[in-house]
Structure 1
């Protein structure tokens, strides 16, 4: 398949590009700094194109003839500043997809975006990290998910990952759940980015999680 990957210079995006190439896909990395991409995935046969998110018109030409769009975009914002990056960038991507008649989208989201008292996040995340550090990012990610639910013409899958770890891709099995977390996770608390990429790529041709937000984690095979 012909894939367009946003956020390809980030740790998860690099894994998506590497694994997609290994699977034989035609990959185009859409990045703001092409030189950085060349250093991260050297000597590979794939296209690198420079983009900006100033308007859908600036993105549209880069999505021509693509089958699937994958977004690994991330934002680093000061804890006291408003965050609109995820909704702003997703609206541009979706608009450009529509202009190119592309329906399939796989993007990265996160566990614990909402504070449901009946299914709360861990104590430290709920009362320390979200109020002081990640709350505004999580709020905008939740708004991004809500926006995608309203896009009836886009076959999206929002992959909700737990705490992200560094490490090589594994052969662990995936546990999934439609909701804010995976409860049956055998004590696992995080997931390596390489396995998040592996799961994202596995969903591209599947109907199971179309138009859904899916929490996922990798656990050892029994």
Structure 2
């Protein structure tokens, strides 16, 4: 990866893992560490990554996220994302990192709208039981917009 990163200004990562109650997941921690190692060797200082809502249990989470999703369908992937976020916060302070936490992802077309954001939060306010949806195309557009803005430098931001 180092050779491909040389001369780059930033790395944008939207890696996705496999959901499953009984399926182990280490894609975020394993590939995240490899990406960071390669970035450091290549001299790249900017990283924008996508994780999800609810990477940690928090009272602000919508009901289904807090009591159902976190402990069933996507528990292993959320646990791995949370460990990856911890690694970035604790061991990567030499990098300028933005962690984007989208709500429920859909496959719909891009809306072109600016998403609602919540800096430093595990979700965005809204429906108390499920929370908001956002299409993958809008998440990608938001992440790319972060390249040209400093609003979310060294921050986590939940979006819908």
Q: Same fold (TM over 0.5)?
A: yes
Q: Higher relative contact order at CA 8 Å, sep ≥6: structure 1 or structure 2?
A: 2
What's the RMSD between the two structures over aligned residues?
A: 1.9
Shift of 1:111: 0.8
> Residues of 1 paired with 2:126 and 2:20: CA distance?
33
Identify unmatched segments of 5+ residues in structure 1.
1-58, 218-222
- Contact 1:115–1:121 (CA<8 Å) still a contact in 2? no
- Contact 2:108–2:136 (CA<8 Å) still a contact in 1? yes
Identify unmatched segments of 5+ residues in structure 2.
none
- Contact 1:113–1:139 (CA<8 Å) still a contact in 2? yes
Shift of 1:85: 1.6
Q: Select the residue among 189, 192, 202 that pairs with 2:132.
A: 189
Q: Larger Cα Rg: Structure 1 or Structure 2?
A: 1
Q: Which residue of 2 aligns with 1:200?
A: 143
Q: Which residue of 2 aligns with 1:156?
A: 97
2:68 maps to 1:128: yes
- Contact 2:48–2:99 (CA<8 Å) still a contact in 1? yes
2:47 maps to 1:105: yes
Moved over 6 A (4+): none
2:138 maps to 1:177: no
Q: How many residues align?
A: 156
Structure with a larger share of its residues in strand:
1
In the superposition, the TM-score normalised over structure 1's length comes to 0.65
Per-residue CA deviation, residues 144-179 of structure 1 (Å, 9 max, x unaligned), is 111111211111111100000112211223221121
